[in-house]
Amino acid sequence: MKKKNSENILIKKKELDKNSPYLFSNTLSSHLERFVNYLQYTKNASPKTIENYSLWVNRFINYVWDIDASQIKMIHIQDFRTALIKQGLSPKTVNYHAVGLRSFFKFLLRNDIETLSPEKVDLAKIPPRRVSYLSEEQVQSILNAPSKYEKRPLKILRDKAILATLYWTWLRVTELITLKTKDIKLSENQFSVIGKGSKLRSVFLTQDAKEKLKKYILSRWDDSEYLFISLSPNSYGEPLSRNSVESLVKKYAELVWITEKVTPHTLRHSFATTLLRRGADIRSVQALLGHSSIQTTQIYTHVDDKYLQKVHDLLDEKKNPQKDIDVDDEMFSNDLFE
């Protein structure tokens, strides 16, 4: 009797093993699901990060026909990189794929899965990033544009609050659209957001931003928990989408006759540039922007030709006969001449 029960248990165990999702498979696609779970539950990565890494790795898996992880060779990486370039992807986008594969291979090796060493996956050299930014006068014209070009009172207040919040707080669009009204305490000058990498950081409000937010919030009569909502009849009260905010910024920039492309990130670039020109130290700007690396912040230390010309003109005796020695200290308040 005991023997029969033991046999039944063994049979059930075999059936369980046969249908178990934990049966080991060494194909790349089988490891991709584990990698996604690792990003989500161990690294606490944002949904967008998980989406991007899944896309980049999955493209590679489809390209190499889902082979065994141990069969990956450098020639596969080189051919994949070439295929992406031939499809018209930029070197920067191709590098994103390489970064995704590096992380994927690191994950496999960390879990004792034999595969290609991530150190072998090189990143292509790309030109230095060119930052687009606006003058303070251009920014001010955008901030004032809703009053001039919009007729609906609540939309004027909402759009002015959005633009002021984007510019004065340096929020990313994703951070802006996920803000809830309860997150903002107008009696205080700061609030907290969860930014890239699920990192908590403090965001500071200027008086101008506080005033615009207060007017907008007090004019709301809906019960939506989100701070910035759609005012369209078909989606009233729903949180704004990323595309909606980008379109809003683009619209007002075009209405005030700014010809270059303007995005919410342009406003972020512009304020960072202004602060550095006025003497803010780069480490403080790094903290305010929420950058994990100082190298990312260093792109804002650029200087345009017009600004250099103004500095040079100060030393021109013909243009400044009374100021051949006395140079404006403000021009030297940043790291331009270090």
Q: In the structure encoding, which two tokens stand for residue 261, read together?
A: 């492309």
**Could you please report the per-residue DSSP string of 16-31?**
HHHH-TTS---BHHHH
Residue 295 CB coordination number (10 Å) = 9
Q: Cα(167)–Cα(164) distance, rounded to whole angstroms?
A: 5
Q: DSSP 3-state assignment of 201?
A: strand
Of the candidates 220, 251, 265, 323, the residue annotated as catalytic is 265
User: Residue 97, class by beta-carbon neighbours within 10 Å (0-12 exposed, 13-18 middle, 19+ buried)?
Assistant: buried
191 - beta bridge partners? 203
Of the candidates 38, 167, 252, 300, the residue annotated as catalytic is 300
Q: In the structure encoding, which two tokens stand for residue 316, read together?
A: 């021109």
User: Which helix (H) or strand (E) element contains residue 203?
Assistant: strand 200-204
Of the candidates 43, 59, 106, 196, the residue annotated as catalytic is 196
Q: In the structure encoding, which two tokens stand for residue 70, read together?
A: 């141990």
Residue 108 CB coordination number (10 Å) = 22
Catalytic residue flag (residue 269) = no
For the chain, what is the radius of gyration of the CA atoms? 27
Of the candidates 97, 268, 269, 277, the residue annotated as catalytic is 268
Catalytic residue flag (residue 268) = yes
Nearest to 304 by CA among 260, 257, 253, 248: 260
- The answer to whether 269 and 133 have CB atoms below 8 angstroms apart is yes
Of the candidates 102, 158, 269, 291, the residue annotated as catalytic is 291
Residue 311 CB coordination number (10 Å) = 15
Of the candidates 81, 97, 158, 172, the residue annotated as catalytic is 172
Catalytic residue flag (residue 261) = no
200 - beta bridge partners? 194
178 φ, ψ (degrees, to nearest 5): -95, 0
Catalytic residue flag (residue 148) = no
Active-site residue list:
172, 196, 265, 268, 291, 300
